Amino acid sequence: MIEAARERLPGTALVTGASRGIGAAVARRLARDGAIVAVHFHRARGEAEAVAADCLSLGAPAAFAVQADVRSGASVAELKVRLEERGVVPDVVVHSAGTAHYGLLEDLEEAEWDDLHQVHLKAAYWLAKHFGPAMSWRRRGRIVHVSSVWGVVGSAGEVAYSAVKGGLNSFTKALARELAGVGVTVNAVAPGVVDTDMLRELAPEEREELLAEMPLGRFARPEEIADLVRFLVSEEAGYVTGQVIGLTGGWRI
């Protein structure tokens, strides 16, 4: 079924961190366009399987949950093998998995710093290393990283998060240059404040303060980020590469 479906699809997509938030919204959006979707998760199997079921109901000819720890090269390599066993070689990789840390740098433990680096930046390296070559050989592919406005302007109280997202932005630009000659595009989206579980970790008064700063009077919806990702993986975006595109509603620009 997957081999037959690929002939009429815009592509097959691996979306990391797709059990919730932006990743889940991206998976559903690509499913609406008829893509085969691999819904990656680390620990939240039940949530990922629910997202995969949503993708099937939205029109994906195939969608399934797949586990991996993207911080580990061995785990990402195993993920590649398991996808190939299903007949899936992704044309699209969207790296949305991530965690956050709020607090002063002096209170940040080294293990927390290392974890942020691994899940945001090193994971992007592992994904490109394991899935990029097949895209290069076929001379087509799309890689999209979900970054953050903090990777562009920085944030007090989120120094480590800002640093790894800034690194991800530079990685995006450099990898785009490296892969441009083989027809693979690499871009990043840099949202501002998005209404996800990560935002809900803030205290109510902190959320109210943030909301008061929003020029449009609201936070971004995950579906709005997904719409931009959908464009970047489309044929229409074939000349767009090496870009870090802000989606902030006019905030922090």
Q: Which residues are catalytic?
A: 161
Beta pairing class for 63-67 and 92-95: unpaired
Check if the beta carbon of residue 205 is closer than 8 Å to that of residue 239.
no
Q: Which amino acid is at 12?
A: T
Check if the beta carbon of residue 93 is closer than 8 Å to that of residue 127.
yes
The CA-atom distances, in angstroms, between 172 and each of 13, 93, 166, 192, 248 are 18, 13, 10, 18, 19
The strand ranges marked E within the chain are 12-16, 36-41, 63-67, 92-95, 141-146, 184-191, 244-247
Question: Closest Cα to residue 30, out of 182, 186, 252, 225?
Answer: 225
Could you identify the residue written with the tokens 């970047």? 232
Distance CA 51, CA 127 (A): 21
